[in-house]
Structures are given as C-alpha cells and as structure tokens.
C-alpha cells in the first residue's frame, strides 16, 4: 500500500461497544477529532498523548523533573564530547535504510532515529533496532468447524511489516508471537462463520477479508498485514445434510499457475463442471443384436478383476501413448494396504500385484473404492485429485495420462 506519511496519521481502535464508527488503517485529521471521543486509554504510552501522531512532546513531565533531565543529559553529552573520538566508537551507530532505532532517554520515549549515523548517549539512552522489511510466517493447519457442520484443516501464509517503529516497541512485548496468535484466532473465528462450500471456492476473497480484520486488531501495534493466503489442507468431515462436492481448490494446479486467483477459481469451476458432465455422459452401452434393450458396461467388483481387464487392453499403441510406469498403494476398507503396478514403458506393457524392481514414474495413493470408480469412468482422476481422494507423488501431468487407459477400458 503506497501512501504519504505526511498526509495521514494513525488512529487507535476503540474498544468500547458504544463507538459506532470504525476507522481504517489511516484516517485524516478531520476524523481524528470525532474519533477522540471513543478513545480508550490504558496503554504504556499514555504519558505522551500524541505519540500516535508522531508528536513526542511529554506534557505530563513536571518542571523539576524536566530540569533534572536536562542537567543529566548535558553532563553526559559534555563527557562524551570531551572523550571524543574514543567515545565515538560507542555512541555512534550506523542505521541502514530498512531499520530505525527507538531510543528511551532516562526511560522516556524519543523520536525514532535513522537512517544514517545516529548518536546514542551512554548510560542514559536505551535503544532498540526495529526492522521495517516485510516478514512472513506460516500458520500450521488447524481444525475448523464450519457454519454448516463440516470440519476442515486450514492453514495460512501471512506477510506483514512494521510501519510505526515506536508503536511496535511500546505497545506490544513480543510482536512476532502476538501477531501469530492474533492471526490464528482471527482465521478460526472468520472461517467458523463460513460454509464449507464458501471456504472451498472463495479462498482468495476470504484471505483478503481476513487481512482487513487482522489490520483492525494490529493497528495499535504499528503493524500492517500485507497479504494473507489461505491453504485448505483437506476436508475431515462433510457438512451436515449433504456432501461437500468435488470443487476443492488444491494448493497448486499444473497448467493454471500463471492465472490470477479469481481466474484460476473460474477455470477450476469450469473444469469441475466439465468433469461432472463427462461423468454423466461417458457411459458405454453395448447394443445386442438379439435384444432391443441396451447392455450396461461391464463392472468390476475387485482390483483383481480390474487387473484382468487392464491386461486385455495392453498394446504397443497404448505404451507409445503413455510411456510411464505407475505404482498404486491401494487401501481397503479393512485398513490393509496392497501394492499394484502398471508398467507402460516397453513392449506390450505389464500389470500385476507387488512392487516393480525399477523406480516408478508416478506413485498414487487411493482407496480401493475410488480406484474402481476411476477405471470404470465414475470418477475422473482430476476430480479425485482436486478433492484430495487421490494423492500423487511425481509428475501430475504423467499421472493424468491414466485417462488414456481409462478411456480404452470403457470402449472395450
């Protein structure tokens, strides 16, 4: 966000329920007069009434205290000057453009210093460096119960930066830990008010709204959240009263990386609808010359039966089109995991149970029910991957070549 610090001034968020007006991250001086009525005190910098406006005049200091501070400061400055240049090694600090130094002189806040060479007096000055560059952190996946009763695992990547060095030092003790905790709580509260479908299809929009909510909470800390990207790890429980559907946005989809967020969501939505329409139409009926009614496509009730059908369609032409070796980790309803392979790299191809001696090009983890559904045409591989029911280790484009084998099985 580009802005001029001279045209805007920071305003605190009111914590009172009676304050109906909520200011943005920056407000004009005209709004400050009206907003001051809702201001709640109790911060560590209340003795400097206008610290949020970069005015560090301390009007609460008594005359005697002011004289004592002036005398002590003058004596320390005089000793530093007399012992120069030896004292220069200790009192002169070099501050780069991306940092500022916050100084407390005799315990009272001073204006931030830098960039360049700054003077820090010994004994009476306590100082702290503040980095103004953008920082990032990750919120680990958390379990969130949605508005419609679903349970999802959601994480987030968040980028933020400090725009007020003084506020970041005097308003919060541990800025990084406080920001992480605030971001996690805000994310869980925000997503708990959304349905599972909204979380799946509007991640970009929800991330923007979450960033604005976080800015409202972190304004008194001199902090600004630049970017929030939600990551949907998976659906742990479907909503009450229905299924969640197959439209789940994966972290990255090959072929759509260059598209912007809304366009990518639109493309995913179109592909999902196309997959659904193909699923309903790609049913092969065999016409029987002796009977007038259609004959349904052959169905397999086990993986062994599916392997027999795969062996019947293996050919050099299929190997030439695919040229890949697949390893399947199939989990059954009883909790067991069986290994199968389909080798389409040489000759007529091969398939069977067990593990090949060579390294497969792609390893796929899927349940027995979903595997049968994919090879029978009831579930497209792309929809299975998008919904998290198919886990792929290897090149996704190579994994999607399985559709060639699936189409061949449906036409035999």
State yes or no: pLDDT of 365 exceeds 60: yes
The whole-model pTM stands at 0.49
197 or 295, higher pLDDT? 197
Neighbouring C-alpha atoms within 13 Å toward the C-beta of 382? 21
- For residues 364 and 328, the answer to whether their CB atoms sit within 8 Å is yes
Name the most confidently modeled range: 61-65, 129-133, 293-297. 129-133
Least confident of 33-47, 327-341, 384-398: 33-47
67 or 292, higher pLDDT? 67
Model confidence band, residue 321 (pLDDT cutoffs 50, 70, 90): confident
Q: What's the chain's average pLDDT?
A: 75
Q: What are 372-410's pLDDT values in tens digits?
A: 787 776 777 767 777 778 888 877 778 778 778 877 877
* The predicted structure's pLDDT at residue 23: 36
297 or 181, higher pLDDT? 181
Residue 310 in tokens: 């795969």
67 or 254, higher pLDDT? 67
Domains 135-245 and 286-410 share a fold: no
In the chain, what are the domain boundaries?
Answer: 41-130, 135-245, 286-410
Render the burial of 82-107: b for 16+ CB within 10 Å, e for the rest. eeeeeeeeebebebeeebbbbbebbe
Q: Topology of 286-410 in CATH?
A: Nonspecific Lipid-transfer Protein; Chain A (3.30.1050)
* The predicted structure's pLDDT at residue 28: 38
248 or 381, higher pLDDT? 381
Render the burial of 270-292: b for 16+ CB within 10 Å, e for the rest. ebbeebeeebeeeeeeeeeeeee
Q: What is the mean pLDDT of residues 160-164?
A: 92
Least confident of 181-195, 333-347, 372-386: 372-386
Least confident of 76-90, 94-108, 130-144, 339-353: 339-353
The dotted CATH code for 135-245 is 3.30.479.30
139 membership: H or E segment, kind and range: strand 135-145
Question: Which has the closest alpha carbon to 214: 175, 187, 176, 195?
Answer: 187
Model confidence band, residue 275 (pLDDT cutoffs 50, 70, 90): very low
Q: Give first-to-last CA distance, the chain, whole Å.
A: 60
């Amino acid at each position: 966000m580009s802005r001029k610090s001279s045209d805007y001034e920071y305003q605190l968020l009111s914590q009172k329920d009676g304050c109906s007006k909520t200011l943005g991250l920056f407000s004009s001086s005209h709004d400050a007069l009206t907003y001051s009525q809702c201001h709640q005190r109790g911060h560590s910098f209340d003795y400097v009434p206008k610290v949020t406006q970069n005015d560090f005049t301390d009007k609460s200091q008594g005359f005697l205290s002011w004289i004592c501070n002036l005398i002590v400061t003058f004596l320390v400055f005089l000793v530093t000057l007399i012992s120069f240049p030896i004292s220069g090694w200790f009192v002169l600090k070099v501050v780069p453009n991306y940092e500022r130094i916050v100084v407390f002189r005799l315990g009272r806040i001073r204006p931030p210093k830098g960039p360049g060479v700054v003077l820090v007096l010994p004994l009476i000055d306590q100082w702290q460096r503040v980095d103004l560059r953008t920082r990032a952190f990750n919120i680990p996946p958390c379990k969130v119960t949605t508005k419609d009763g679903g349970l999802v695992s959601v994480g987030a990547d968040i980028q933020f930066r400090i725009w007020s060095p003084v506020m970041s030092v005097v308003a919060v003790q541990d800025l990084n830990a406080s920001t992480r905790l605030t971001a996690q709580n805000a994310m869980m509260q925000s997503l708990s008010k959304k349905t599972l479908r909204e979380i799946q299809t509007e991640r970009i929009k929800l991330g923007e709204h979450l960033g604005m909510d976080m800015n409202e909470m972190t304004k008194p800390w001199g902090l600004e959240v630049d970017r929030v990207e939600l990551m949907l790890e998976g659906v742990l429980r479907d909503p009450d009263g229905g299924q969640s559907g197959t439209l789940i946005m994966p972290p990255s989809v090959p072929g759509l990386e260059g598209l912007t967020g809304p366009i990518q969501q639109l493309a995913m939505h179109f592909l999902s609808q196309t997959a659904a329409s193909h699923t309903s139409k790609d049913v092969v009926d065999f016409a029987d010359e002796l009977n007038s009614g259609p004959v349904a496509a052959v169905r397999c009730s086990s993986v062994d039966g599916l392997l027999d059908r795969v062996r019947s369609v293996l050919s050099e032409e299929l190997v030439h089109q695919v040229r890949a070796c697949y390893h399947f980790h199939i989990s059954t309803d009883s909790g067991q995991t069986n290994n199968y392979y389909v080798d389409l790299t040489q000759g007529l191809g091969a398939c069977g149970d067990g593990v090949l001696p060579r390294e497969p090009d792609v390893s796929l983890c899927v349940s027995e029910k979903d595997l049968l559904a994919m090879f029978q045409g009831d579930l497209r591989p792309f929809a299975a991957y998008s919904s998290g029911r198919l886990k792929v280790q290897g090149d996704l484009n190579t994994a999607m070549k399985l559709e060639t084998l699936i189409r061949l099985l449906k036409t035999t």
